[in-house]
Amino acid sequence: MSQDIYARIKADHDHARELMEKIADTSNSAEKTRRRLFDEFKIDIWTHHKVEEATFYAQLRKEGEDGEAFEAYNEHHMANNLVEELATVAMMNEQWLQKFKTLKELLEHHMEEEEEEFFEVARKEIDKTRAEELGKWFDERKRAAAEAITPI
Ligand SMILES: [Fe+2]
Ligand SMILES: [Fe+2]
C-alpha cells in the first residue's frame, strides 16, 4: 500500500536519523564504514531535499504557505552545503566528526519542525486524495533522483 506524503517523508526522516546516528558513532579509524555510510547518506539527503521541495513544499506554496516553504529551502540549502563540504575534505579526523555532528543537529531540528509544525499546516490545506498522490510522486521521484546521482 502506498503511503501518503506525511508517512513517506517521515519514513525518509527515520532512515536519515538512523544513518546519522551510525555515522556519528564511527571511530576516526573506521574509514571504510564511515565512507560507505556517508556516501549513502549524501545521496539520500540531497534527493530528499530536492524531492521534498518539488512535491510537499510546491503544494504548500500553491496553498499560499510561502513562509514555511522558504524557511525549509533555506535550511535545505545550509544542510546541502555542509554535506558537500564534508564530502570534499579529509574524513578521518575529529574536525570532520564535529562538523558532521553540527549537520546532524541542524537536520534533526529541521526534520522535527517539519513533522511537528509544517505537517500540521499542510494537513489543514491538503485533502486526503492529494496527500496520497503526493506521497506516490515523492516515492517515484526520489527513486529516480537517487538513481540519477548514484555513481555507476
Ligand atoms: Fe526538509
Ligand atoms: Fe524532510
- Using the mean position of ligand 1's atoms as its centre, give its distance from the Cα of residue 7 in Å: 14
Residue 100 CA to residue 83 CA, distance in Å, equals 8
pLDDT tens-digit profile of 70-126? 999 999 999 999 999 999 999 999 999 999 999 999 999 999 999 999 999 999 999
Mean pLDDT computed over every residue of the chain: 97
Q: What is the pLDDT of residue 1?
A: 61
Q: Where are the domains of the chain?
A: 5-149
* Interior/surface letters 115-151, b for 16+ CB within 10 angstroms, e for the rest: eeebbeebeeebeeeebbbbbebbbebbeebbeeeee
Model confidence band, residue 144 (pLDDT cutoffs 50, 70, 90): very high
Provide mean pLDDT across the span 16-37. Answer: 97
Quote the cell numbers at residue 89: 575534505
- Using the mean position of ligand 2's atoms as its centre, give its distance from the Cα of residue 112 in Å: 9
- Using the mean position of ligand 2's atoms as its centre, give its distance from the Cα of residue 97 in Å: 22
Domain 5-149: CATH architecture, name and number where available: Up-down Bundle (1.20)
pTM of the model: 0.96
* Residue 2 clears pLDDT 90, i.e. is over it: no
Q: In sequence order, what are the residues at sequence separation of 6 or more whose Cβ sits closer than 8 angstroms to the Cβ of residue 115?
A: 9, 10, 13
User: Which ligand has an atom closest to residue 57 CA?
Assistant: 1
Quote the cell numbers at residue 1: 500500500
